[in-house]
């Protein structure tokens, strides 16, 4: 069973609240949900919509056609009516205009949607009371509920499911690693982590500090980390560009630093509230000079918890730069899961701390005493040491899941993808003859990738960028060019049904 519901209207009309209420109810009943948010960079007006996918199995993407459209304005019907399935239902704000519900129309629509799903009135009212325990809100929900007949009968399932965004996953991973300080300057879509870590600083024994700009962020972070604080910074797009000189300082000083890079479409401002995987190249190479780093790209919120923890561990153990690479789709979409994260890896500070020892850190090349030098022999020795450390990082990274294999394990049709494309790929290949190799560590890159490619008959690269950046990285490391590519770069995520059709087209069926 899989149903797709579009909820649309203007910014400020409470669209998110409709999907949030219904999703919480359905998850409590044992159903999996996935909630995608589509919105322009406007505070009020425009056309916003959420797509809520509901299933009795794990789900992590949406379909191109909808079973239900919930319209909070006329524009939603106009834009999306051609995407409604023949048996589909439209729930419109017009049904409640005469009731003068005002800003509570969204709760009436949530009530109507709950009735269509066959949810009991008692469960609906209990959930509304948790957030809106007032007469008008409850009346609106009841009117909505009474306005419809049940279309689906969803029996209660025994699944124990939680809802989480990618932002929440990264935040929890940082907290599990005993982060001391998070620094950032607000920039969509990275701001979610900043807000989450700021919301409960005392309880989690950390500090969130908003700097005046991204240049200040990275330099303050290196100063704090030098003093012994487990430190993470976060940004997107142009903010990361501003940080890259500081990242190069990390490479020379070898002060541990974790960076959360949450991608959006560029160049420049681009389309700032949409999604992209076009920043893999700058994650791998941002910063002048040559030095070791780690780049990890989780594919769902649970992996975001685990991989952020691993990023902290590796950064502290090797005094390296660790980048957690995500994007708007993973950061802001709401995923449901019945999987628990792996056991937290303890993150220990393995270095000398000023105040306890005499420590020097500089942007200049230094001798073994920390004194600035321009000696050619010392420069060569130090450069070799910085790159040699990469071999140690690679050996340590092999303890973790650098890749994952999904789907039909003996299939000769191999899909390669990374990051937020994971869940759409999983939905697209369900019951089909495909093996999916998910790359989690972009640097260091697993040696097992070449073995999997050589065993396959057809290899298909799936990415959300124009040039196939992971494919280029794999070719650089293995010498193998992946011929079949499915690339999307319009800022929107993959629909699972469209992706399935394209995959079948590649394999000829």
- Summarize pLDDT for 357-374 with one digit per residue, the tens: 888 888 999 998 889 999
Write the DSSP string, 216-235.
HHHHHHHHHHHTT--EEEEE
In the chain, how long is the greatest CA-to-CA distance? Answer: 84
Co-location of 407 and 389 in the same domain: no
Co-location of 257 and 387 in the same domain: yes
69 domain residue, yes or no:
yes
Closest of 45, 25, 43, 46 to residue 35, by C-alpha: 25
Q: Given 368, 397, 426, which residue is the final one in a domain? A: 397
Co-location of 84 and 109 in the same domain: yes
Co-location of 242 and 328 in the same domain: yes
CATH number of the domain bearing residue 331: 3.40.50.970
Co-location of 353 and 316 in the same domain: yes
CATH number of the domain bearing residue 473: 3.40.50.920
Write the DSSP string, 45-67.
EEEEEEEEEEESS----B-SSEE
157 domain residue, yes or no:
no
Quote the mean pLDDT of the chain.
95
> Cα separation of 505 and 509, whole Å?
6
Co-location of 229 and 359 in the same domain: yes
User: What distance lies between CA 481 and its chain's CA centroid?
Assistant: 28
> Cα separation of 393 and 311, whole Å?
11
pLDDT of residue 385: 94
20 domain residue, yes or no:
yes
Q: Given 115, 146, 177, which residue is the final one in a domain? A: 146
Co-location of 379 and 468 in the same domain: no
Co-location of 286 and 338 in the same domain: yes
Task: Pull the structure tokens for residue 468.
Answer: 């196939």
373 domain residue, yes or no:
yes
Indicate the range of 44-48, 49-53, 85-89 predicted with least confidence.
Answer: 44-48
- Summarize pLDDT for 145-181 with one digit per residue, the tens: 999 999 988 889 999 999 999 999 999 999 999 999 9
| Domains contained in the chain, number | 3
90 domain residue, yes or no:
yes
153 domain residue, yes or no:
no
- Summarize pLDDT for 64-115 with one digit per residue, the tens: 999 999 999 999 999 999 999 999 999 998 888 777 787 889 999 999 999 9
Residues 6+ apart with CB under 8 A from 242: 213, 214, 215, 218
Co-location of 254 and 367 in the same domain: yes
User: What distance lies between CA 472 and its chain's CA centroid?
Assistant: 22
CATH number of the domain bearing residue 21: 3.40.920.10
Place of tokens 């040559």: 290
Q: Given 379, 397, 415, which residue is the final one in a domain? A: 397
Co-location of 407 and 393 in the same domain: no
**Average pLDDT for 202-216:** 97
152 domain residue, yes or no:
no
pTM comes to 0.96
| Full residue range of the structural domain in which residue 342 is found | 164-397
87 domain residue, yes or no:
yes
Place of tokens 């991973």: 173
Q: What percent of the chain has pLDDT over 70?
A: 100
User: What is the DSSP-derived secondary structure letter of residue 354?
Assistant: B
- Classify burial at 476, counting beta carbons within 10 Å of its beta carbon; exposed 0-12, middle 13-18, buried 19 or more: exposed
Task: List the beta bridge partners of residue 49.
Answer: 8, 38
Could you give the residue ranges of the DSSP H alpha helices within 322-457?
328-332, 376-397, 421-428, 448-455
Query: Collapsing DSSP states into helix, strand and coil, what is residue 310?
Result: helix
pLDDT of residue 509: 66
User: What is the DSSP-derived secondary structure letter of residue 494?
Assistant: P
> Cα separation of 222 and 215, whole Å?
11
When computed from its CA atoms, the radius of gyration of the chain, rounded to whole angstroms, is: 24
- Summarize pLDDT for 450-489 with one digit per residue, the tens: 999 999 999 999 999 999 999 999 999 999 999 999 999 9
- Summarize pLDDT for 22-38 with one digit per residue, the tens: 999 999 999 999 999 99
Co-location of 218 and 356 in the same domain: yes
> Cα separation of 462 and 488, whole Å?
8
> Cα separation of 482 and 83, whole Å?
34
SS3 content of the chain, % helix, strand, coil (to 5): 40, 25, 35
Residues 6+ apart with CB under 8 A from 277: 263, 327, 418, 419, 420, 421, 463, 464, 465, 469
Task: Pull the structure tokens for residue 127.
Answer: 């959930």
Co-location of 393 and 409 in the same domain: no
With contact defined as beta carbons under 8 Å apart, do 386 and 393 qualify?
Answer: no
């Amino acid at each position: 069973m899989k149903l797709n519901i579009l909820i649309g209207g203007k910014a400020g009309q409470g669209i998110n609240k409709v999907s949030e209420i219904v999703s919480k109810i359905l998850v409590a009943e044992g159903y999996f949900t996935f909630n995608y948010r589509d919105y322009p960079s406007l505070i009020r007006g425009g056309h916003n919509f959420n797509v809520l996918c509901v299933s009795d199995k794990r789900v992590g993407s949406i379909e191109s056609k909808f079973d239900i459209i919930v319209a909070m304005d006329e524009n939603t019907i106009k834009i999306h009516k051609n995407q409604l399935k023949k048996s589909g239902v439209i729930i419109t704000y017009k049904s409640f205009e005469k009731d003068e519900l005002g800003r509570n129309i969204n709760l009436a629509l949530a009530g109507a949607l709950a009735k269509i799903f066959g949810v009991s009135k008692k469960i609906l009212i209990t959930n509304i009371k948790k957030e809106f325990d007032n007469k008008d809100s409850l009346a609106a929900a009841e009117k909505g509920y009474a306005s419809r007949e049940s279309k689906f009968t969803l029996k209660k399932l025994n699944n124990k499911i939680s809802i989480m965004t990618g932002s929440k996953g990264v935040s929890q991973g940082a907290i599990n690693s005993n982060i001391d300080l998070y620094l950032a300057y607000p920039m969509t879509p990275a701001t979610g982590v900043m807000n989450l870590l700021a919301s409960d600083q005392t309880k989690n024994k950390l500090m969130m500090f908003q700097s005046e700009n991204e240049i200040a962020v990275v330099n303050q972070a290196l100063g704090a980390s030098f003093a012994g604080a487990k430190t993470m910074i976060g940004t997107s797009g142009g903010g990361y560009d501003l940080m890259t000189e500081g990242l190069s300082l990390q490479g020379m000083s070898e002060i541990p630093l974790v960076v959360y890079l949450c991608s959006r479409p560029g160049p420049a401002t681009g389309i700032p509230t949409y999604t992209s995987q076009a920043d893999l190249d700058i994650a791998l190479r941002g910063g002048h000079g040559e030095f070791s780093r780690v780049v990890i790209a989780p594919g769902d919120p649970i992996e975001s918890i685990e991989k952020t923890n691993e990023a902290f561990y590796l950064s502290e153990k090797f005094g390296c730069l660790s980048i957690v690479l995500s994007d708007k789709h993973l950061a802001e979409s709401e995923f449901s899961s019945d999987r628990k994260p792996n056991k937290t890896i303890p993150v220990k500070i393995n270095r000398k701390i000023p105040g306890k020892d005499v420590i020097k850190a500089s942007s200049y090349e230094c001798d073994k005493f920390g004194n600035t030098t321009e000696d050619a022999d010392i420069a060569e020795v130090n450069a070799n040491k910085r790159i040699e450390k990469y071999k140690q990082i690679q050996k340590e990274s092999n303890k973790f899941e650098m890749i994952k294999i999904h789907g039909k394990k003996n299939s000769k049709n191999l899909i390669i993808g990374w990051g937020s494309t994971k869940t759409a790929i999983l939905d697209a290949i369900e019951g089909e003859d495909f093996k999916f190799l998910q790359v989690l560590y972009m640097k260091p890159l697993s040696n097992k990738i070449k073995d999997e490619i050589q065993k396959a008959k057809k290899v298909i690269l799936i990415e959300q960028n124009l040039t196939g950046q992971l494919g280029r990285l794999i070719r650089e490391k293995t010498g193998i060019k992946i011929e079949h590519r499915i690339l999307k770069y319009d800022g929107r995520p993959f629909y699972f049904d469209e992706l399935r059709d394209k995959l079948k087209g590649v394999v000829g069926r």
